[in-house]
């Protein structure tokens, strides 16, 4: 009988409690303890009222350590692995959110898009309900992560995204502002009174050669005549002069021909620095009328490639620049000039001649860093002046 009783006692012995049951039992004990303390305080107050003197204060007992589910559930065993409970719940939350996003994107998959194209208004509410059920079940099964944690995490992520977008938009705005300023730099400088923006900023060739002038050579432009000009003023004839602008050169002008009218003979020349390999610049020639406001009559733009082709060969320079050739009429023969159509009307006869100068061998450093060295006297251009040419042409 004794052995049977022992066997029955062993069969009715309680099973070991799980961690969750232990946590719940601890919470119930704490609640009972608080109820007993409240009853004791009520009895003490009643004792003071009956006897008229305070009841003896019991010695304070040391506070018992309070345990909750977070202290009990510090780790979780998954199979043969033991990981922290917080890490497990964070991983489960991320996996659930990704699964919810995957479920919500099902109608856009190629295998479902054609079938769900006309039924999206019915499918999306159903998918949203499924996502909500998954989210509620997940929150109910977690002990350390709750809805408040998820909400404030979403707010923090949204705040970080807004800060990143603000920084990105600020940087993009600064880049766009710089691009617009660089794109319209010519107009901005023209508004400020600067004729040529290249004089300030330059281009890649200038920076690559340390702003050396070795790649330039002097070129002389001869103006023979202009014909077919419209009238700038109905009350008087045109007071004609021509203006030339190329690259870094200052604006070069001919003298004013008073009452030149619609047809004017110049027989003058101006000199400009010319880079034959500059494919972006254009030679701009403007015929103007001098008055209270210098009015533009017509203009023409000639690419530098065309100017390079029209430059006379070096073998004929001696003949062109010789005094005998200038004194006879062959130099200003119209057959030696090229007519350019101007806008809105008119023709301008021009001739491009490189200025003869002494040549000497230069080193690489002089070519790239010529701005650091002074010019020699033998590099000064040897040309005839316009006044001597005009004196030779006119009686």
pLDDT for residue 105 is more than 50: yes
pLDDT in tens, 176-206: 999 998 888 878 877 887 766 666 776 667 7
Measure the CA angle with vertex 321, ends 255 and 355; round to 5°: 75
Q: Which of 20, 21, 3 is nearest to 11 (CA)?
A: 3
% of the chain exceeding 70 in pLDDT: 70
C-alpha–C-alpha distance, residues 190 and 203, integer Å: 18
Q: What pLDDT score does 110 carry?
A: 82
Q: Which of 362, 374, 359, 371 is nearest to 208 (CA)?
A: 371
Q: What pLDDT score does 270 carry?
A: 92
Write down the H helix ranges in 54-184.
69-72, 85-104, 110-116, 120-141, 147-183
Measure the CA angle with vertex 247, ends 242 and 248; round to 5°: 100
pLDDT for residue 262 is more than 50: yes
Q: Which of 364, 372, 369, 362 is nearest to 207 (CA)?
A: 369
Total number of residues shown for the chain: 395
pLDDT for residue 339 is more than 70: yes
Q: What pLDDT score does 197 carry?
A: 65
pLDDT in tens, 37-80: 888 888 777 777 666 555 455 555 555 444 444 444 567 777 77
């Amino acid at each position: 009988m004794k052995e049977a009783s022992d066997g029955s006692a062993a069969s009715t012995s309680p099973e070991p409690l799980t961690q969750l049951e232990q946590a719940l039992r601890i919470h119930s004990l704490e609640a009972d303890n608080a109820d007993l303390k409240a009853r004791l305080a009520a009895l003490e107050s009643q004792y003071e009222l009956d006897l008229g003197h305070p009841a003896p204060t019991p010695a304070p007992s040391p506070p018992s350590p309070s345990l909750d589910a977070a202290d009990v559930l510090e780790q979780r065993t998954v199979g043969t692995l033991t990981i922290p409970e917080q890490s497990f719940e964070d991983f489960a939350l991320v996996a659930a959110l990704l699964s919810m996003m995957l479920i919500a994107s099902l109608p856009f998959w190629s295998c479902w898009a054609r079938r769900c194209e006309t039924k999206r208004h019915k499918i999306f509410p159903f998918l949203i309900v499924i996502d909500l059920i998954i989210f509620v079940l997940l929150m109910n099964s977690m002990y350390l992560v709750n809805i408040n944690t998820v909400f404030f995490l979403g707010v923090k992520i949204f705040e970080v995204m807004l800060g990143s977008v603000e920084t990105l938009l600020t940087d993009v705005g600064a880049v766009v502002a710089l691009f617009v300023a660089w794109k319209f730099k010519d107009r901005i400088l023209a508004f400020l009174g600067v004729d040529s923006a290249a004089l300030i900023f330059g281009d890649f060739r200038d920076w690559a050669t340390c702003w050396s002038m070795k790649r330039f050579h002097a070129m002389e432009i001869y103006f023979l005549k202009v014909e077919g000009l419209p009238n700038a003023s109905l009350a008087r004839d045109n007071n004609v002069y021509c203006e030339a602008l190329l690259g870094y050169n200052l604006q070069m002008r001919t003298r004013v021909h008073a009452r030149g009218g619609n047809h004017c003979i110049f027989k003058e020349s101006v000199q400009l620095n010319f880079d034959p390999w500059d494919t972006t610049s254009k030679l701009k020639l403007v015929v103007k009328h001098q008055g209270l406001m210098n009015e533009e009559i017509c203009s023409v733009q000639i690419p530098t490639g065309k100017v390079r082709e029209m430059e006379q060969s070096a073998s004929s320079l001696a003949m062109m620049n010789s005094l005998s050739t200038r004194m006879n009429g062959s130099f200003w023969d119209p057959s030696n000039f090229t007519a350019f159509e101007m806008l809105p009307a008119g023709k301008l006869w021009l001739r491009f001649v490189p200025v003869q100068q002494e040549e000497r061998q230069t080193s690489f450093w002089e070519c790239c860093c010529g701005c650091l060295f002074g010019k020699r006297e033998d590099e000064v251009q040897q040309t005839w002046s316009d006044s001597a040419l005009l004196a030779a042409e006119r009686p």
